[in-house]
Structure 1
Amino acid sequence: MTLRLKTLPAFSAAVAALAIARPALAQAPAVSTLPVQTAAQAADLRLRTDWAWSARYREANATDVVGTVKPRIVLMGDSITQGWYDLDRAFFTPGRIGRGIGGQTTSQMLLRFRQDVIDLNPQVVQIMAGTNDIAGNTGPMTDEQIQANFRSMVEMAQAHGIRVILASIPPADLFPWRPGLDTGPRIQRINAWLRTYAAKTGSVYADYWTAMKGTGLGAREGLTSDHVHPTPAGYEVMNKVAEAAFTQALALPAPRPLAAARIP
């Protein structure tokens, strides 16, 4: 007598499902891949983990300190200084060090001023900042707050015997990433303060604004790519102003370091 096993409906359905799913399972990747991090995501993460991007030049600083050619002039700044190095490497002769980071405000530069300037022990530092403060990149900033950050950087530099060049904010009649801001008058106002403060502190004022200004309160046509960031032609104009400022600063007696600044 032959026994017939009845096929259970649920069991048959499960077997059929596995048979259908098998090809799909075989084609699935063995290891899942994470999505590539975008530049915006990386910047957002950095703002939450290294707000001043102190790590940006950490390796370069370590190399420059022990190099055979010691840093003589450090250019501290934002994207205008960073672009200077990117577009005109020839200007950065041995001993000239670029420490620009795009988008930064004076508050961020102040936080990284020790490792990116003082610890390099240069003879001169040029500080070019203010554009992104006016834009509010890290929040609203009053003129007094911007001035306080400049004061702190100048005081730190001079306390360590470093001569200071205060660079004007270059002319800009608009900021593409902050439409609607009336940029020109405020740039003029901060530049006027920088000129006066430079004279009071024995610093050099580098007037890039006058050298680059066109009609109105913006830069001359062809000197910027977007009303803010210089083109190679713009940096050619800036080079002449910078060279004169470097010569003037190096001719000044070095500030007398504070006793506290000499304590390791």
Structure 2
Amino acid sequence: MKNNFVFLGDSLTFGYGVNKKDCWITLFESNTNLNIINKGINGSTTTDMLVRFDKDVMTFIPEKAFIMGGTNDLLCNRSISSIVSNIELMIKDLKSINSSIIIGIPPDIIVEDAYNLFMPSPTYDYCKKSLPTLKESLISLCNNYDCNYIDFYSLTKNNIQKNIYLDGIHLNPQGQQLMLNEFLKESTH
């Protein structure tokens, strides 16, 4: 029987806007012998993830778990500390069953593109301004709990000119491949 690897997150985990075959997690699935379970839900906040955590993650008794969230929280004007607290609770539960944990640090956003191509929102600037602080807070959390992390924020920030976005928030197939490459590079440590 294959060991379970659960991916919990929002649209960036779900693969919003691309064919399922182009989603970075589906691409990863073809590179592994683990049983991949994608529990990304479009629009999900870390509070939503916490509510569904037992059913969507713990029931699978995962050998490995990936959690990425926070962008939608920031787009709802929630605090960085609330995001970190929610993710910390999930880490504690996974540690209690000895799961190997990887935290995804959410990608950067392009405010003007998100406003014009996704939907107008008064909270894009707050989100954009908060993402670097969220990154540092999540890295600190991972260090406290001895968890691995994958810094999709720096990856996208450094590749922002390479046309990797569909709409300023979600990644196109090229961006999905970039995320997969980073995941493969970092998750093998």
Listed as ranges, the matches of 1:67-78 within 5 Å are: 68-71=1-4, 73-78=5-10
Q: Which residue of 2 aligns with 1:127?
A: 67
Q: Against the structure 1 CA distance between its residues 109 and 236, is the aligned structure 2 distance closer, same or farther, given a 3 Å change threshold?
A: same
Higher relative contact order, chain-length normalized (CA < 8 Å, sep 6+): 2
Q: Which residue of 1 aligns with 2:14?
A: 82
Q: TM-score, normalised by structure 1?
A: 0.61
User: For the pair shown, which has the larger CA radius of gyration, 1 or 2?
Assistant: 1
Give distance in 2, aligned partners of 1:90 and 1:173.
25
Contact 2:11/2:44, CA 8 A, preserved across alignment: yes
Give distance in 2, aligned partners of 1:105 and 1:180.
15
Give distance in 2, aligned partners of 1:237 and 1:244.
11
Aligned residues: 174
Shift of 1:173: 2.9
Helix, strand or coil at the partner of 2:14: helix
* Structure with greater strand share of residues: 2
Residue 245 in structure 1 maps to residue 160 in structure 2: no
Give distance in 2, aligned partners of 1:221 and 1:179.
26
Query: 1:103 aligned to 43, 58, 77, which one?
Result: 43
* Structure with greater helix share of residues: 2
Listed as ranges, the matches of 1:113-262 within 5 Å are: 113-136=53-76, 140-174=77-111, 175-176=114-115, 177=119, 178-179=121-122, 181-182=124-125, 183-214=127-158, 219-248=160-189
Helix, strand or coil at the partner of 2:124: coil
Give distance in 2, aligned partners of 1:75 and 1:220.
28
Unaligned runs of 5+ in 2: none
Q: Which residue of 2 aligns with 1:26?
A: none
Give distance in 2, aligned partners of 1:112 and 1:200.
24
Unaligned runs of 5+ in 1: 1-67, 249-264
Shift of 1:70: 3.7
Shift of 1:169: 1.1
Shift of 1:195: 0.8
Contact 1:206/1:241, CA 8 A, preserved across alignment: yes
Spell out structure 1 runs of 4+ moving beyond 3 A.
none
Q: TM-score, normalised by structure 2?
A: 0.84
The amino acid that maps onto 2:73 is D
Provide the aligned C-alpha RMSD in A.
1.9
Contact 1:214/1:221, CA 8 A, preserved across alignment: no
Q: Deviations over 1:46-101 (max 9, x none)?
A: xxxxxxxxxxxxxxxxxxxxxx4342x21111001111782333322352221100
Percent sequence identity over aligned pairs: 25
Q: Deviations over 1:210-231 (max 9, x none)?
A: 122148xxx3341110011011
Q: Which residue of 2 aligns with 1:28?
A: none
